[in-house]
């Protein structure tokens, strides 16, 4: 399978709570990226973390990367109803191919 694993597959939280999504991958990488997809729409790039980085922040987003465990996590703090979407991690290898994880469907209830 070309895909890595993401968990949870679905996450439902209340507005204001934090949401944590995890991603594992299988091969060596140059970088790992997180994307957001609203239902039936294209993807929006959220954040990229390079293989030599361990943590990165962007606004309410915090991403960690553990290359020894081949895993990453995305934390969304102080979630809002507008954060409701599917979130995917994707890894880029030397050849430039972007391979996506299975995704986490996040539902933030007002």
Partner 1 sequence: GAVVSQHPSWVICKSGTSVKIECRSLDFQATTMFWYRQFPKQSLMLMATSNEGSKATYEQGVEKDKFLINHASLTLSTLTVTSAHPEDSSFYICSAVPTGSSQYGYTFGSGTRLTVV
Q: How far apart are CA 84 and CA 107, in angstroms?
A: 5
Q: At 47, list the tokens.
A: 């954040």
Verify binding: residue 107, partner 1, rule CB under 8 A.
no
With binding defined as CB under 8 A, does residue 87 bind partner 1?
no
* Interaction of residue 110 with partner 1, rule CB under 8 A: no
What is the spatial distance between Cα 89 and Cα 75, in angstroms, rounded to a whole number?
12
Which residues ranging from 8 to 47 are in contact with partner 1 (CB under 8 A)? 30-31, 33, 35, 40-45
Smallest gap from Cβ 16 to partner 1, in A, equals 27
Rounded CA separation 25/4 (Å): 4
**For residue 8, is the peptide bond before it cis, meaning its omega torsion is within 30 degrees of 0?**
yes
**How far is Cα 51 from Cα 67, in angstroms, rounded to an integer?**
7
Would you count residue 67 as binding partner 1 (CB under 8 A)? no
Using rule CB under 8 A, residue 96 touches partner 1:
yes
- The site for partner 1 (CB under 8 A) is made up of 2-3, 30-31, 33, 35, 40-45, 48, 88, 92, 95-103, 105
């Amino acid at each position: 399978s070309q895909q890595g694993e993401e968990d949870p597959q679905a996450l439902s939280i209340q507005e204001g709570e934090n949401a944590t999504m995890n991603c594992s991958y299988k091969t060596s990488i140059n970088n790992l990226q997180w994307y957001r997809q609203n239902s039936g729409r294209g993807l929006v790039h959220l954040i990229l973390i390079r293989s030599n980085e361990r943590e990165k922040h962007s606004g309410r987003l915090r991403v960690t990367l553990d290359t020894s465990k081949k895993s990453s996590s995305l934390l969304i703090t102080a979630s809002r109803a507008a954060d409701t979407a599917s979130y995917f991690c994707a890894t880029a290898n030397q050849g430039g191919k972007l391979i996506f994880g299975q995704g986490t469907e996040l539902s933030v209830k007002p």
